């Protein structure tokens, strides 16, 4: 019965009608009773106390007073008139003032009748006054369904223009709560409610709109935040479980010659404990009979490539092929060169396929792939073309996954009878909180330590006024045989200006260092010219690389030991961290110098302080998440986290962890939610999935 009532279109609620309904739908996405009850206030005005006039302070705060109007007058002023009423209680006198709407107000004010007034006070000419107060007769005040704390709802300019004020929304909410009689169906089981001391659903919904006290408001918020995050985690965990039950994968139970030979004879350095742990997780996935769907996170330089290669050897040892797809040509060439070097003398056939592969070679690759002569294929989006057919693809590795759309990845599946195992790699550390929400249905592995012998990059912040010292330092480093990056920001909206900054920078560097060779790379160059310039730098024919952020991902020049970031305040934290990861790849001490002007916002200061105090990508990602919020971090189109009605995955991190823990506990005991005690959860879950109210996360 209640469910049907909540599905009622909003226009049938008393006080709405077709015109208002259209506005509410367009502006606030409120189409049904259910949408309205789940439209939560974003702040509250506390009306728990009444003040006597003698208790008022000169701090222009919002207060509530009970008293009577004893006199009304019009006062001439420079422009127009103001209406002034004397308002008294048993302790003193104050003025109520109106600058517009005089006629209507004057006709409706009652003398010598008790009113409750609310508003901001001013101290003027030795007396308190309150402009345009909210007023209600004490008789009406006592009758209304109300709370001492007044909700303030999100609004838009259009709603205000059409007269749908906060007061109107409050009235509609009161009407709705009256109609439903506050009998909302419970959506959590008794175990959860008891264990977490949650207030019932009906009580939570009443107190989120009309809280009876600060304490009840806090309990209502906790209950509704927990519930929202609980159902999201329930869906992600269920999808992961179903994926494992439904989507069968190749069973790679053999660890053979390729893997063992490489591990025992060819490993260039000892694996870190983190790498060993991650390889173990991948081995167990690939041998489980279900399709692996794993996200591998590792900071820049943590050794993801070795983990990727050893995973590919597991596929090879089970007579399958493997592929690695990277977002750019430069990055795929780099993977190819790196893996080729690691596989020397192992008799493994590795090929590279990109947009610029010549036709004859392309044909050759297509044939060899179908004959299973190629073991490992590395490439860009070119791997997704229909002509690219594997004999038996067993493992697909995707690097920097957020640059590929879901549809593109699905194409890799279709290259097989059975979907290959999938390992998604990223060097962009995703805070645990966000990973749990965005990639909750992928299993997550983290490489959280750097290989031994890597020296952390020293990071310093310098103002533009110290430029000459920085130039001196550059000269000293180049004379030691090192190379230097100088990076300029590129912000799409002002491309012309950025291009000018870059060119001005390039000219001043060329003037300052006439004896050094300089490469320049920016977005307006042809790809072939870019590659040529990059290549000169990689081969150490140039000592300085002046560039925009195109070098952010993956370029590996172990000899480059200095990264200078110009206008560092214009970069986001994760970008700064990615750029810093371009140096510190060799055995020498490396440096990152953040150049800024003296004018810095407080967020910029926090970013620069974070960069100079830590090299830990996860710590940096956490700060970034707090500064920018989840939407900006992942790019809004991916960020279902923005669709949350009440929870905030940054501030409510601990509630999120608790929600995931309980969702996982319930599913372990009752995977199909078929036990009697979980019926309420099952019904609520089915309804949410059916109404698509749980964000369908990407993976």
- pLDDT tens per residue, range 643-677: 678 887 767 878 988 999 999 999 999 999 999 99
Q: Indicate whether 382 and 503 sit together in one domain.
A: no
Residue 364 lies in a domain: yes
Band of residue 10 on the pLDDT scale cut at 50, 70, 90: very high
Beta strands in 59-190 (DSSP E): 62-76, 81-89, 92-98, 114-120, 122-124, 127-131, 134-137, 149-152
CB proximity list for 70: less than 8 A, separation 6 or greater: 86, 87, 88, 111, 112
Quote the percentage of the chain above a pLDDT of 70.
89
Inter-residue contact 186 to 174 (CB < 8 Å)? no
Q: Structurally, how many domains does the chain consist of?
A: 4
Q: Is residue 642 part of a domain?
A: no
Compute CA distances 181 → 2, 174, 398, whole Å: 10, 10, 53
pLDDT class of 100 with cuts at 50, 70, 90: confident
Q: What is the pLDDT of residue 471?
A: 95
In which band, very low, low, confident or very high, does the pLDDT at 145 lie, cut at 50, 70 and 90? low
pLDDT higher than threshold 70 for residue 214: yes
The model's confidence at residue 591, banded by pLDDT at 50, 70 and 90, is very high
Q: Are residues 486 and 520 in the same domain?
A: yes
Residues 408-459 pLDDT 10s: 656 666 667 788 999 988 877 777 667 766 666 678 888 888 777 778 899 9
Between 468 and 417, name the one with better pLDDT: 468
Q: Are residues 393 and 518 in the same domain?
A: no
Q: What is the pLDDT of residue 630?
A: 58
Please give the pLDDT value at position 639: 37
pLDDT tens-digit readout, 528-544:
888 888 889 988 999 99
Q: CA neighbours within 13 Å on the CB side: how many for 144?
A: 18
In DSSP notation, 494-521 reads: GHHHHHHHHHHHHHHHHHH-TTS-EEEE
Q: Domain boundary at 96, 120, 146, which?
A: 146
d(CA 195, CA 170): 33
Q: And the tokens for 227?
A: 């519930």
φ, ψ at 478 (rounded to 5°): -65, -35
Decide if 646 is inside a domain: no
Mean pLDDT of 270-283: 94
Q: Does the residue 370 lie in any domain?
A: yes
Strand partners, 463: 596
- State residue 695's pLDDT score: 44
Give yes or no: residues 128 and 162 share one domain: no
pLDDT recorded at residue 171: 93
Contact 87, 66 (CB under 8 A): no
For residue 213, the model assigns a pLDDT of: 80
Please check whether residue 661 lies inside any domain of the structure: no
Instruction: Tell me, yes or no, whether 53 and 41 share the same domain.
Output: no
Q: What is the pLDDT of residues 32-78, one digit of tens each?
A: 999 999 999 988 887 778 889 998 887 767 888 999 999 999 998 88
Lowest mean per-residue pLDDT among 133-147, 361-375, 542-556: 542-556
Q: What is the CA radius of gyration of the chain?
A: 32
The per-residue pLDDT for 403 is 52
pLDDT exceeds cutoff 50 at 14: yes
Establish if 553 belongs to a structural domain: yes
Answer yes or no: do 334 and 465 share one domain: no
Q: Are residues 268 and 409 in the same domain?
A: yes
pLDDT at 647: 83
Residues 610-640: tens digit of each pLDDT: 999 998 887 888 788 778 765 544 443 333 3
Residues 402 and 369 in one domain: yes
Angle at 637 between CA 634 and CA 641, to 5 degrees: 60
Closest CA to 20 of 165, 119, 149, 141: 165
Residue finishing a domain among 614, 629, 659:
614
* Helices marked H in 513-616: 527-538, 573-580, 602-613
Q: Which domain-ending residue is among 614, 638, 673?
A: 614
**Can you give the length of the chain in residues?**
699
Q: Are residues 177 and 310 in the same domain?
A: no
Q: Do 480 and 565 have their domain in common?
A: yes
Beta strands in 138-190 (DSSP E): 149-152
Over range 215-234, report the average pLDDT: 92
Residue 384 pLDDT: 83
Examine the domain organization and report whether 498 and 607 are in the same domain: yes
Q: In the prediction, which pLDDT does 472 show?
A: 95
Q: What's the confidence (pLDDT) of residue 637?
A: 37
Q: Is residue 680 part of a domain?
A: no
Cβ contacts of 163 within 8 Å, gap of 6 or more: none
Domain at 342, CATH number:
3.40.50.300
Q: Are residues 107 and 126 in the same domain?
A: yes
Taking residues 241-266, report their average pLDDT: 88
Write out the residue range of the structural domain in which residue 171 sits: 2-45+154-209
**The domain spanning residue 63 has which CATH number?**
2.40.50.140
Query: How many CB atoms sit inside 10 A of residue 661's CB?
Result: 12
Q: What is the pLDDT of residue 176?
A: 94
Mean pLDDT of the chain: 86
Domain annotation covers residue 203: yes
Between residues 70 and 327, the one the model is more confident about: 70
């Amino acid at each position: 019965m209640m469910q049907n009532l909540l599905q009622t279109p909003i226009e049938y609620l008393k006080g709405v009608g077709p015109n208002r309904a259209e506005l509410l739908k367009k502006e606030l996405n409120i189409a049904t009773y259910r949408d309205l009850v789940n439209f939560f206030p974003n702040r509250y005005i506390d009306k728990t106390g009444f003040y006597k006039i003698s208790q008022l302070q000169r701090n222009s705060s919002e207060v509530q007073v009970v008293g009577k109007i004893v006199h009304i007058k019009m006062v001439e002023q420079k422009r127009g008139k103001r209406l002034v009423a004397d308002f008294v209680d048993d302790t003193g006198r104050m003025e109520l003032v109106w600058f517009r709407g005089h006629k209507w107000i004057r006709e409706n004010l009652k003398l010598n009748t008790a009113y409750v007034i609310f508003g901001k006070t001013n101290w003027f000419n030795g007396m308190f006054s309150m402009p345009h107060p909210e007023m209600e007769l004490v008789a009406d005040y006592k009758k209304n369904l109300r709370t001492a704390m007044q909700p303030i709802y999100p609004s838009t300019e259009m709603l205000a223009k059409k007269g749908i004020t906060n007061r109107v929304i409050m009235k509609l909410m009161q009407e709705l709560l009256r109609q439903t009689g506050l009998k909302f169906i419970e959506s959590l089981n008794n175990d959860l409610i008891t264990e977490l001391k949650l207030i019932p659903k009906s009580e939570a919904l009443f107190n989120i709109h009309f809280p009876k006290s600060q304490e009840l408001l806090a309990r209502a918020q906790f209950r509704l935040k927990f519930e929202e995050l609980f159902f999201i985690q329930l869906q992600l965990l269920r999808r992961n479980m179903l994926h494992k039950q439904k989507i069968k994968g190749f069973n790679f139970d053999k660890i053979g010659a390729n893997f063992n030979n490489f591990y025992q004879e060819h490993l260039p350095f000892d694996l870190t404990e983190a790498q060993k742990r991650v390889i173990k997780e991948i081995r167990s996935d690939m041998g489980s009979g279900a399709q692996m769907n794993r996200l591998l996170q590792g900071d820049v330089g943590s050794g993801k490539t070795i983990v990727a290669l050893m995973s590919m050897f597991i596929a090879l040892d089970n007579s399958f092929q493997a592929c690695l797809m990277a977002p750019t040509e430069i990055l795929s060439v780099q993977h190819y060169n790196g893996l080729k070097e690691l596989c020397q003398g192992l008799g493994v056939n590795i090929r590279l396929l990109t947009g610029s592969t010549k036709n004859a070679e392309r044909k050759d690759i297509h044939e060899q792939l179908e004959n299973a002569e190629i073991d490992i294929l590395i490439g860009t989006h070119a791997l997704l073309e229909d002509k690219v057919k594997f004999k038996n693809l067993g493992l697909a590795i995707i690097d920097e996954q957020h640059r590929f759309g879901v549809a593109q990845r699905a194409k890799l599946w279709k290259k097989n009878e059975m979907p290959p195992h999938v390992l998604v790699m990223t060097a962009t550390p995703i805070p645990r909180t966000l990973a749990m929400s965005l990639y909750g249905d992928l299993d997550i592995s983290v490489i959280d330590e750097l290989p031994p012998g890597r020296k952390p990059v020293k990071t310093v912040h310098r103002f533009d006024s110290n430029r000459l010292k920085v130039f001196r330092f550059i000269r000293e480093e180049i004379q030691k045989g090192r190379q230097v990056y100088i990076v300029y920001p590129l912000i799409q909206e002002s491309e012309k200006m950025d291009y000018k900054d870059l060119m001005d920078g390039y000219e001043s560097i060329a003037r300052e260092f006439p004896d050094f060779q300089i490469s320049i790379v920016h977005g307006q160059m042809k790809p072939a010219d870019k590659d040529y310039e990059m290549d000169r730098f990689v081969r150490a024919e140039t000592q300085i690389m002046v560039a925009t952020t195109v070098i952010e991902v993956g370029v590996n020049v172990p000899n480059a030991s200095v990264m200078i970031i110009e206008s560092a305040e214009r970069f986001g934290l994760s970008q700064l961290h990615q750029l810093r990861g371009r140096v510190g790849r060799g055995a020498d001490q490396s440096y990152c110098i953040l150049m800024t002007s003296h004018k810095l916002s407080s967020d910029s200061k926090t970013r620069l302080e974070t960069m100079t105090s830590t090299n830990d990508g996860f710590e940096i990602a956490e700060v970034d998440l707090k500064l920018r919020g989840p939407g900006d971090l992942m790019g809004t189109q991916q960020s279902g986290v923005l669709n949350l009605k009440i929870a905030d995955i940054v501030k409510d991190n601990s509630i999120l962890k608790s929600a995931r823990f309980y969702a996982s506990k319930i599913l372990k005991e009752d995977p199909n939610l078929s036990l009697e005690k979980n019926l309420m959860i099952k019904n609520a879950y089915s309804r949410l999935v059916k109404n698509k109210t749980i964000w369908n996360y990407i993976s």
